[in-house]
A = this chain, B = another copy of it.
Amino acid sequence: MTHHSSCEHSIIVRVTKPSTRAERRKAELRQDIIDTAFVCFAEKGYHATGIADIASILGIGHGTFYRYFSNKRDIIDHVIDDLAGRIVEALGTENAPDAATSLDDYRAQLDRIGVALDHILVEDRRVAQLLLFHATGIDDELTARLYGLLDMADALTAGYLSHGVELGYLRADLDTTNTAKAVTGMLIAGIVHGMRSPDTTAVNGLNEAIRRLLIDGVRKD
């Protein structure tokens, strides 16, 4: 992904920006390493992936790896950062928590967010696989980083909820912070089940149940 296809309108550029070119190549390889590491970590797990695996997939010497990253431990940080960036970017446009002005708008927004999450987390199962299965428990520091991502998601959700409360289409006594945590939990449950069975109807059923539960609860009337 994101190979940026190394644009070779070479000659002219080379004259004007000689060093930049090398730098660009470095940055490209750096990104390639991150991408490949992501794939390996997600598919085989952090511990089962060797530096040599990553290097040989890229066709580079494994010593080269250490020119771009100082550690095996180092790169997973960058993989996670990269991932976080991608997720934020994917949510980007419609993440404005003040976009919805009615309960119906809200429902629609939830749908859009669901679709966006599906896109990065379920469609490419590897993202969730890495975040939920293989990045856990490596390190206290990395765990803290994952918690940070969770907090981000919680905060985002809380923003939506607060907005709904302000606009009056959500309960006034809503504990937005804690409810947001609960909602995030449901979303992650959806992602996990989506990972297991990529069956669309099953996923849709769960998504619908989540939306319904979120808005109406389970109570009878």
Contacts and interface: CB of A to CB of B under 8 A. Distances in A.
Contact of A137 (B45, B150, B205): B45
A178 B209 contact: yes
A183 B143 contact: no
A50 to B, nearest CB: 14
Interface in A96-122: 103
A103 to B, nearest CB: 7
A47 interface: yes
A136 interface: yes
A171 B158 CA distance: 26
A101 B169 CA distance: 32
Nearest to A173: B212
Nearest to A139: B45
A27 interface: no
A167 to B, nearest CB: 10
Given A133-B137, A188-B185, A213 B216 contact: no
A216 B155 CA distance: 22
B214 A216 contact: no
A189 B181 contact: yes
Contacts of A208: 175, 178
B185 A205 contact: no
Contacts of A46: 137
A29 interface: no
A46 to B, nearest CB: 8
A179 B218 contact: yes
B182 A213 contact: yes
A196 B147 contact: yes
A215 B219 CA distance: 5
A203 B201 CA distance: 35
A210 B213 CA distance: 11
17 contacts: A134-B136, A134-B137, A164-B218, A170-B219, A172-B220, A177-B205, A178-B205, A179-B209, A181-B189, A181-B193, A182-B189, A182-B210, A183-B213, A184-B189, A185-B186, A213-B213, A216-B217
